Amino acid sequence: MRDLREAIRERIDLVELVSDYVRLERAGRNFKGLCPFHTEKTPSFHVSPALNRFHCFGCGASGDAFAFLMRIEGLSFREAMRRLAERAGLELHEETLPQEAPNTLERLRRLMYAANFFYRQCLRRAPHAQHYLAQRGLTPETIQAFELGYAPDGWNHLLRFLQRHNFTLEDAEQAGLLKARDDGSGYYDRFRNRITFPIHDASGRVVAFGARTLSDEEPKYLNSPETPLFEKRTTLYGWHLARGAILRQKATLIVEGYLDLIMLHQHGFTHSVATLGTALTEDHATRLKRLVERVYLMFDSDTAGVRAALRAGEVLAQAGIPALVVRLPEGDDPDSLLRAQGAAALQRALEHAVPLAQFGIEQIVREQAGGRNPLELEPALKAQIVERGLDWAQGLPSELDQLACLERLAPLTPAYLTSPQAALQTLQRELQRRLRSRRRAPAPIVPLPAETPALPEPSGVPKAVLQAEREVLRATLHPESAARVFDQLPEIEWQVPLHAQLATALLALPKPPYHYEDPAELLRYLADEPLQAILSALMMQETPPMSPAWAEGCLQRLHEYALRRKRAQLAAQIDSQNAEKLQEYWRVRVESIERTEGSRWSSG
């Protein structure tokens, strides 16, 4: 099994794999990007081509291709091995895979797969459902790509299918496929006489369903409830199909609604995704930020659509993602526009998309002015526009966007007639006053992640000492600094047990660490994953620059800390009747002073 894992790992380009999920940029010998495992604004996630490993200096996530895929997709080791072997072009036989008992999530995934199969088979036997989809303009290829299905009209069609295939009804209810009867007498199908839209996770596995009636009866749409497999706030419809195009274009188009999204893909806009009956969330923005440079928002042109676009734009702005709003003709949504006028019309709308700041301020003006010229409004209405406009501007993180809003508002102020510049300056002062007032409630300060391995830290040990331990270990990887520290490793009183274990492992190597030209070969000598994670992080770390003087200083700090601890222990044991302990205390005290003085003279 270990040989098979090594064979797969050697064939996987980790930079290429991670780039399917994170936008990476070259950083010296490595690549870096925003960590997919925690929220951050400054990239601290590094991938090393030489090591074929990743490490986040912010949250400490670390590992190889298996660890990355298991963590980001929520896969078991068995599933990750199957996926990576397929990617590497290796054929796997089922008996070679590690055996795992199915857990709850695996049972629910199998249920969803079976339900999706059932609905798709039902669509093939339902001419009226096929006719409905054809009327909506969907091609057979699109129906196949999005795995659309049909839930037949009845209370127990899916229930009986699942029973025949030995699934438990309790699991089916937990997966959101069945509902319990109010009188406790059993279960019934959640979706009946509806087109089904399977919702996939990032790996392409079905985790939920949307379902639309074939007529205009209410509710028009039903959705799966949230389950152990499915959370609306983290899921985007069509993500599994769109991710590749999003990476290539470094942009995405966000819409509301299953059919809007499907029609966009059918017409070639394959970088599109849709929200699922909820507003765009911070979780969505965090996922998008790793891949895109800009986001286009294309919602309905009615009042609800405009408000949804503004809410989504604010979430994106707070995440630092430029957002542009696509204006559609009155009464149109993406589906109707594409069916009536085709892809060219939608492309023109995309090309005329406006930045969020401009869209927001123009919407405020339009709502207050109606169809009238805003410059001809009564003073009270102008004042309302300015007031709402200032509220909008103070929520924008970009100073340039704020200035653009103020420039649009300035002509509506009384001072503009005599001095346009004075009017703009007055608005700028008012905006700054509001921003200061909002900042008075202190927010928690989140320190930027340092480029040092994130590890559990023993309480009571100064951070400077912990850093010195890491730096001494890192020094062993550099020939000149290793000469200063290598022989001292056994003498150090390590405060982190893993540091002590790594030092022992380095001393046991056939040759010093810096003699290994292939870093991956050095890692193979370490059997334990935690030690590999620490050493990988030290190999990727490039700051501060390593030098003999820096290594010597870190070593000196560790010796001084050890002497201080020993002195404190002796002081606690001393009493006037214990001459031997008193003598030992003063000996350690003098040694500490001499070491400090020697360090001062050598540094001078």
Give the model's confidence band at 444: pLDDT under 50 very low, under 70 low, under 90 confident, else very high.
very low
pLDDT tens figures, 257-315 = 899 999 999 999 999 999 987 789 988 998 898 889 999 999 987 888 888 899 999 89
Position 446 pLDDT exceeds 80 = no
Of 87-101, 257-271, 314-328, which gets the smallest average pLDDT?
87-101
CATH code of domain 240-352: 3.40.1360.10
Position 448 pLDDT exceeds 50 = no
Kindly state the average pLDDT of the residues 61-86.
86
Of 102-106, 136-140, 466-470, 473-477, which gets the smallest average pLDDT?
102-106
The overall average pLDDT reported for the chain is 85
Q: Give the C-alpha separation, 282 to 288, whole Å.
A: 10
- Domain segments of the chain as ranges: 2-96, 104-230, 240-352, 362-439, 463-603
Q: 276 CB contacts (<8 Å, ≥6 apart)? A: 199, 210, 223, 232, 235, 236, 237
C-beta contacts of 17-23 below 8 A and 24+ residues apart: 17/65, 17/68, 17/69, 17/87, 18/47, 18/54, 18/68, 19/247, 20/243, 20/244, 20/247, 21/72, 21/202, 21/243, 21/290, 21/291, 22/290, 22/291, 23/247, 23/250, 23/290, 23/291, 23/292
CATH class of this structure's domain 104-230:
alpha beta
Whole-number percent of the chain with pLDDT over 70: 89
Helix, coil or strand: residue 97? coil
Position 439 pLDDT exceeds 70 = no
Of 15-24, 42-51, 528-537, which gets the smallest average pLDDT?
528-537
pLDDT of 99 reads: 58
**C-alpha 166 chain-centroid distance:** 37
Q: Give the C-alpha separation, 590 to 309, whole Å.
A: 71
Let me know if the fold of 2-96 is the same as that of 104-230.
no
Q: Which residue has the higher pLDDT, 420 or 300?
A: 420
Angle, helix 529-540 to helix 463-475, in steps of 10 degrees: 80
Q: Give the C-alpha separation, 217 to 502, whole Å.
A: 67
pLDDT of 591 reads: 59
Q: Give the C-alpha separation, 291 to 87, whole Å.
A: 21
pLDDT of 600 reads: 40
Decide if 266 contacts 138 (C-beta within 8 A).
Answer: yes
Give the model's confidence band at 161: pLDDT under 50 very low, under 70 low, under 90 confident, else very high.
very high
Give the model's confidence band at 525: pLDDT under 50 very low, under 70 low, under 90 confident, else very high.
confident
Of 141-145, 239-243, 255-259, 514-518, which gets the smallest average pLDDT?
514-518
Q: Give the C-alpha separation, 529 to 36, whole Å.
A: 21
Q: 35 CB contacts (<8 Å, ≥6 apart)? A: 22, 43, 44, 45, 56, 58, 59, 61
CATH code of domain 2-96: 3.90.580.10
Give the model's confidence band at 441: pLDDT under 50 very low, under 70 low, under 90 confident, else very high.
very low
pLDDT of 79 reads: 82
pLDDT of 435 reads: 86
Kindly state the average pLDDT of the residues 215-231.
90
User: Which strands make up the sheet holding 294-297, listed edge to edge?
Assistant: 272-275, 251-256, 294-297, 323-325, 354-355
Kindly state the average pLDDT of the residues 231-243.
92
Of 53-62, 210-219, 293-302, 557-566, which gets the smallest average pLDDT?
557-566
Q: Give the C-alpha separation, 485 to 313, whole Å.
A: 54
Structure tokens at 479: 């020939």
Q: Is the dihedral of CA 262, 268, 269, 273 positive or negative?
A: positive
The residue whose two tokens read 């006053």 is 433
Position 59 pLDDT exceeds 80 = yes
Length of the chain in residues, anyone?
A: 604
Q: What are phi and psi of 54, to 5 degrees?
A: -120, 155
pLDDT tens figures, 538-575 = 888 877 888 888 888 888 888 888 888 877 776 666 65
C-beta contacts of 547-552 below 8 A and 24+ residues apart: 547/480, 547/481, 548/480, 548/481, 548/483, 548/484, 550/471, 550/475, 550/481, 551/471, 551/472, 551/475, 551/478, 551/481, 551/482, 551/484, 551/485, 552/484, 552/485
Q: Is the dihedral of CA 13, 18, 21, 27 positive or negative?
A: negative
Nearest to 220 by CA among 140, 160, 132: 132
Q: Give the C-alpha separation, 227 to 224, whole Å.
A: 8
Work out the angle at residue 127's Cα, subtended by the Cα atoms of residues 124 and 129, and round it to the nearest 5 degrees. 85
pLDDT tens figures, 386-415 = 999 999 998 888 888 899 999 999 999 998
Position 75 pLDDT exceeds 80 = no
Q: 131 CB contacts (<8 Å, ≥6 apart)? A: none
Beta-ladder partners of 560: none
pLDDT of 286 reads: 86
Give the model's confidence band at 445: pLDDT under 50 very low, under 70 low, under 90 confident, else very high.
very low
HSE of 374 in the Cβ direction (CA atoms, 13 Å)? Answer: 20
